Amino acid sequence: MNKIIEKQQLSETVFKFVVEAPLIAKSRKPGNFVILRIGEKGERIPLTIVDSDLEKGTITLIVQTVGATSAKLCKLNTGDFITDLVGPLGKATHVSKVGTLLAMGGGVGNAPLLPIVKAFKEAGNRVITVLAARNKDLIILEDEMRKYSDELIVMTDDGSSGRKGLVTDGAEEVIKREKIDECIAIGPAIMMKFAAMLTKKYNIPTQCSLNTIMVDGTGMCGACRVTVGGETKFTCVDGPEFDAHKIDFDELLKRLGAYKKEETEAKNH
Amino acid sequence: MTENTDKLEQERNESWRAELRNSMPMKDRVAIERVKMNEIPPEERIKSQTCEVNTGLTEEQAVLEAKRCMDCPKPTCIEGCPVNINIPKFIKNIERKNFAAAAATLKDYSSLPAVCGRVCPQEKQCEAKCSYLKMKKEPVAIGYLERFAADYERTSGNTQIPKINAPNGIKVGAIGSGPSSLSFAGDMIKLGYDVTVFEALHAIGGVLKYGIPEFRLPNAVVDAELDNLARMGVKFEKNFVVGRTASFEDLKEAGYKAFYVGSGAGLPNFMNIPGENLNGVMSSNEYLTRVNLMCANCDDTDTPVMHGKVVAVVGGGNTAMDSVRTAKRLGAERAIIIYRRSREEMPARLEEVKHAIEEGIEFLNLHNPIEYLPNAEGRVAKVRLQKMELGEPDASGRRKPVPIEGAIEEIDIDIAVVAIGVSPNPLIPACLKGIKVTRKGTIEVCEETMQSALPEIFAGGDIVRGGATVILAMGDGRKAASAMHDYLSKK
Ligand SMILES: Cc1cc2nc3c(=O)[nH]c(=O)nc-3n(C[C@H](O)[C@H](O)[C@H](O)COP(=O)(O)OP(=O)(O)OC[C@H]3O[C@@H](n4cnc5c(N)ncnc54)[C@H](O)[C@@H]3O)c2cc1C
Ligand SMILES: Cc1cc2nc3c(=O)[nH]c(=O)nc-3n(C[C@H](O)[C@H](O)[C@H](O)COP(=O)(O)OP(=O)(O)OC[C@H]3O[C@@H](n4cnc5c(N)ncnc54)[C@H](O)[C@@H]3O)c2cc1C
Ligand code: SF4
Ligand code: SF4
Ligand code: FES
């Protein structure tokens, strides 16, 4: 079970894996994620299911190395096995015909964004996608996104690809230019916070997919809790997508740093 | 499941029992002092999360304790046990040193005696009904003896595998791998069914693995029972969330004829007070899962856990006690229980409270958290507490704690662990159309058969009771197995 069928490097720190998981491939929907563990002493981490192939019984994962576990995963090769893989978890994205969707992706956030962009396009929407990263080498999935977008805008901090600026700069131009019915923003928490502030200004309904810390991913521990509209929610079972204008991003940003000290220790030993 | 008194009487009249009774005058029996459990000293045991506190009885101790049991004509102890174990029968087998027969007797009623001997709240169940109490003496140590017999069998190396009927080829599924599903699976495999246990996590055992720490229930004890089930032919599918990885419809298509839902009450409750989402405030499920399931306390594992000098645990049950004693073992200088009622009213097992006191756990009874306050980095630094006093008895018969107006204090803490109970996991009820759930989210079943409103779905354990005990969860599993067998046989 859970054999790696294919591995591909997308950028310096981002890898794509195609993994055998026939049951998950069959039941997953856009927005769902898996939890996996590498080795008997490994930690459980969540990763979005980017794509699936029903015939081959595989799912696609895209992972950026940030700490111990993502680094361990990225060292695995075709033919290796993932110790534990469970899913699909989380609520699926609510996909419908809304008119025009503006999708914003930052960094590895493009991975969870891709299946959503694809689903909205297939549901008959006009899709405008703005991708952003620090520089040209860090932009991932550009070609795949282009395939499912009516228009694709690339933004980099240093102008090495597309235009110079932040994701919100590109998005605001689009919003000023034409009527946007719905937005979705996925990326680092700080980027989602500013994206949410932007679309709030223009009163456009917006979803964000949150990348909280998780342990079990089934609603058992509460490590993934966030405040949405003043209420505590569990990202793994109530989300991962929430109404961006109701999310307490400052709390989320603090909670993401909860284990910084411990994680640095884990990486160094 | 109450055994008819005739059978009990008959067994009691067997010649070996009668001889044993006559071999020692009653007054000598009652003169024996209740055995003391052998324990690792507190200062030593708090150095390790895995060092079991109780080390068990020696053979001599067990046989002597067994002699105390009077083999009563009306053994009221049996009524106190939720699965009605024939207690005098197993104890008298210990007295005549036939430990294998003692273990076999236990296995007739309970599929996890080594577990129940360790974690049952005996003082509220079997031992609460022992005749010794009427004589104002300490009850027979039924739990210790149960553990002794079960451990004897496990360590003897020749565990008896029960007789298994010829396979009937009928597929049934158990959802969750806690004690409830395990006992269901054990009974169904004996009846010849093709049984698969589905578990969402990467380890089998439910709360026995991720919740109850090893210093109270070693994983080796649970694993031995799991081994037995596997040897009997039970199949285990880990990393499989029923309703997610596959739906009930998918499983039915794959040939499953009926299901037992033992998915537990895994959803942690919070108090919804200000500051509860600060870093450093977490549920007991998170704290215990990180340590017990993920070994976050070990140097060579990837999962982190927070360490703090002062750890406050909110609650008074077994979960709170397990969390606070875990904190002590992770090096906390002060590990404090904060509980809104008095110590007498704490629902935790008596033995755990005793062990906690020995280990230097502090108790702030009649205190209730009302707010957590952060430091400059946004981590929890203080908890504000409302002092309470006891008022009139409430529905549970316990005196209700009421706030003392204006009596508020703050204490400095590094970590807070919230252990105020759990709710049923809503996933399964949500994906079964037509199932009946209560206001609390528990699945409604017929008490006799554990059958739900959907005839092919049976349920028991914490998903039905909303948080109970290992032995009650097991009893439900057994009841459901026998009823499901009837149901499938008639179909
Ligand atoms: C629902 C969901 C879907 C996700 N999908 C993807 C995906 O498709 N691809 C992908 O690459 N990542 C995804 N993530 C993020 C991924 O889970 C984290 O990057 C991963 O857990 C880091 O684990 P680690 O052991 O490598 O790093 P750690 O050692 O755990 O962390 C290293 C550092 O990163 C920070 N950190 C911890 N957790 C996160 C986090 N969730 N996000 C950002 N920083 C974090 C920590 O503060 C720490 O300092 C997703 C997260 C969620 C919740
Ligand atoms: C810390 C702690 C200490 C305790 N101490 C004691 C004690 O000393 N004595 C005592 O008698 N009782 C104690 N209890 C209570 C006791 O453990 C429970 O009553 C008992 O475990 C309930 O058993 P169960 O089989 O119903 O569920 P659980 O043991 O909760 O097992 C349920 C399992 O189902 C899995 N699951 C849930 N949904 C799905 C799904 N959709 N698909 C697949 N799997 C799923 C879960 O992951 C879990 O592993 C304690 C509980 C805790 C948390
Ligand atoms: S199962 Fe529990 S209640 Fe029953 S006899 Fe054993 S220890 Fe007592
Ligand atoms: S009530 Fe006590 S003394 Fe009597 S049979 Fe039961 S355990 Fe023995
Ligand atoms: S990850 Fe544990 S409840 Fe969400």
Cβ within 8 Å, pair B241-A218: yes
Nearest to B306 by CA among B149, B434, B417: B417
Which residues of A are less than 8 Å from B423 in CB distance?
none
Residue B399 banded pLDDT, cuts 50, 70, 90: confident
In this structure, the residue with its CA closest to atom 3 of ligand 5 is A219
**How far apart, in whole angstroms, are the C-alpha atoms of residue B306 and residue A262?**
7
For ligand 2, say whether the CB of B318 is within 6 Å of any of its atoms.
Answer: yes
d(C-alpha B427, C-alpha B240), whole Å: 13
Helix boundaries (H) for B81-119: 87-95, 99-109, 113-119
The DSSP letter of residue A92 is P
Residue B421 CA to ligand 5 centre (angstroms): 16
* Cβ <8 Å between B304 and A86: no
* C-beta separation of B140 from B33 below 8 A: no
B129 CA: nearest ligand 4 atom: 1
- What ipTM did this prediction achieve? 0.92
Assess whether pLDDT exceeds 60 at residue A267: no
The helix or strand, by DSSP H or E, that contains position B406, with its residue range, turns out to be strand B399-412
A&B contacts, CB < 8 Å:
116
Q: Which fold has domain A100-256?
A: Rossmann fold (3.40.50)
Can you give the three-state secondary structure of B9-73, one letter per residue? HHHHCCHHHHHHHHCCCHHHHHHCCCCCCCECCHHHHCCCCCCCCECCCCHHHHHHHHHHCCCCC
Residue of B nearest to A263 (CA): B304
**pLDDT classification of B305: cutoffs 50, 70, 90:** confident
- Where do the structural domains in chain A lie, given as residue ranges? 2-89, 100-256
Ligand nearest to the CA of A221: 5
Rounded Cα distance between B480 and B459, Å, is 7
Which domains does chain B show, CATH number per domain? Answer: 12-45+53-156 (1.10.1060.10), 171-266+424-490 (3.50.50.60), 269-418 (3.50.50.60)
Question: Does A215 contact B289 at a Cβ distance shorter than 8 Å?
Answer: yes
Average pLDDT over residues B166-180: 96
Whether the per-residue pLDDT at B1 is higher than 50: the answer is: no
CA distance B288 to A219: 15
List of chain B residues whose C-beta atoms are within 8 Å of the C-beta of residue A254: 278-279, 378
Directed axis angle between helix A68-75 and helix A260-268, to 10°?
40
Length of chain A: 269
Q: What would the pLDDT profile of A159-204 be if each residue is shown by its tens digit? A: 888 888 899 988 999 999 999 999 999 999 999 999 999 999 999 9
Q: Are A109 and A141 in contact (CB under 8 A)?
A: no
Q: Which atom of ligand 2 is nearest to B427's Cα?
A: 41
* Ligand nearest to the backbone CA of A240: 1
Nearest chain A residue (CA) to B287: A221
Chain A residues whose beta carbon lies within 8 Å of the beta carbon of residue B238: 84
CB contact under 8 A, B267 and A265: no
pLDDT band at A263 (very low <50, low <70, confident <90, very high): low
What residues does ligand 5 touch, defined as CB less than 6 Å away? A 214-217, 219-224, 234, 236
Are the C-beta atoms of residues B466 and B265 closer than 8 Å to each other?
A: yes
Cβ within 8 Å, pair A89-B244? yes
Q: Residue B155: how many CB atoms within 10 A of its CB?
A: 11
Q: Is the CB of B468 under 6 A from ligand 2?
A: yes
Q: What is the mean pLDDT of residues A141-151?
A: 92
Mutation test of the interface with chain A: which of B277, B287, B289, B375, choosing the one with the most A Cβ atoms within 10 A? B277
Task: Using an 8 Å CB-CB cutoff, list chain A residues near B294.
Answer: 43-44, 215
Q: How far is CA B51 from the centre of its chain?
A: 19
Per-residue pLDDT tens digits for B58-117: 999 999 999 999 999 999 999 999 989 999 999 999 999 999 999 999 988 888 899 999
Kindly state the percentage of chain A with pLDDT values over 90. 79
The residues of B whose Cβ lies within 8 A of any Cβ of A are 200-202, 210, 238-241, 244-247, 250, 266-268, 270, 272, 276-280, 282-283, 285-286, 289-290, 294-295, 298-306, 378, 425-427
Residue-wise pLDDT for B365-378, tens only, equals: 999 999 999 998 88
Residues with CB under 6 A from ligand 3: B 81, 83, 85, 87, 110, 116-117, 120, 122, 125-126, 142-143, 146, 471
Q: Which residues of chain B have a CB within 8 Å of the CB of A21?
A: none
Q: Give the torsion through C-alpha atoms of A200, A202, A204, A207, to 10 deg.
A: -30
**DSSP state for residue B289 in the 8-state scheme:** I
CA distance B95 to B59: 10
* Ligand 4 atom 8 nearest Cα: B69
Q: What is the pLDDT of residues B198-251, one digit of tens each?
A: 999 999 999 999 999 999 999 999 999 899 899 999 999 999 999 999 999 999
Average pLDDT, chain B: 93
User: Which ligand 3 atom is at minimum distance from the Cα of B84?
Assistant: 4
- CATH top class, domain A2-89: mainly beta
* Best-predicted range by mean pLDDT (A63-72, B337-346, B408-417): B408-417
**pLDDT of res. A264:** 66
Using a CB-CB distance cutoff of 8 angstroms, which residues of chain B are in contact with residue A43? 294, 301-304
Degrees (nearest 5) of the Cα angle B159, B163, B164? 120
A232 to B303: CB separation less than 8 angstroms, yes or no = no
Pocket of ligand 4 contains residue B71 by CB under 6 Å: yes
A265: pLDDT strictly greater than 80: no
For residue A234, report the distance from its CA to the centre of ligand 3, in Å: 37
| Structure confidence at residue A268 (pLDDT) | 54
Rounded CA separation B474/B112 (Å): 8
Mutate-to-test residue for ligand 5 from A34, A44, A211, A218, highest number of ligand atoms within 8 A of CB: A218
- Contact criterion met (CB < 8 Å) for B244 and A87: yes
Is the predicted pLDDT of residue B161 greater than 80, yes or no?
no
Residue ID of nearest Cα to ligand 3 atom 2: B120
Ligand 4 centre from B19 Cα, in Å? Answer: 17
Residue A13: pLDDT band with limits 50, 70, 90: confident
User: Could you give the angle at the alpha carbon of B348 between the alpha carbons of B346 and B350, nearest 5°?
Assistant: 95
Among A63-72, A217-226, B35-44, B164-173, name the one with the lowest average pLDDT: A63-72
Rounded to two decimals, the pTM is 0.93
Residues of A in contact with B280 (CB under 8 A): 258
Q: Which of A215, A226, A254 sits opposite B286 (nearest CB)?
A: A215
The number of beta carbons lying within 10 Å of the beta carbon of residue B117 is 25
Tell me: pLDDT of B3 over 60.
Answer: no
Residue B157 neighbours by CB under 8 Å, 6+ apart: none
- Are the C-beta atoms of B359 and B391 separated by less than 8 Å? no
Residues forming beta bridges with residue A131, ordered by sequence position:
A105, A154
| Largest Cα–Cα separation, chain A | 53
- If we measure between CA atoms, which residue out of B113, B95, B88 comes closest to residue B103? B113
Contacts for B328 with CB less than 8 Å, ≥ 6 apart: B46, B335, B359, B360, B361
Give the torsion sign (CA, A219, B217, B140, B95): positive
**Tokens 């149901």 sit at which residue?**
B487
Determine the distance separating the centroid of ligand 3 and the alpha carbon of B126, expressed in angstroms. Answer: 6
Give B339 to chain A, closest Cα distance, Å. 21
Distance A17 CA to ligand 1 centre (A): 16
Pairwise CB contact (< 8 Å): B277 & A225: yes
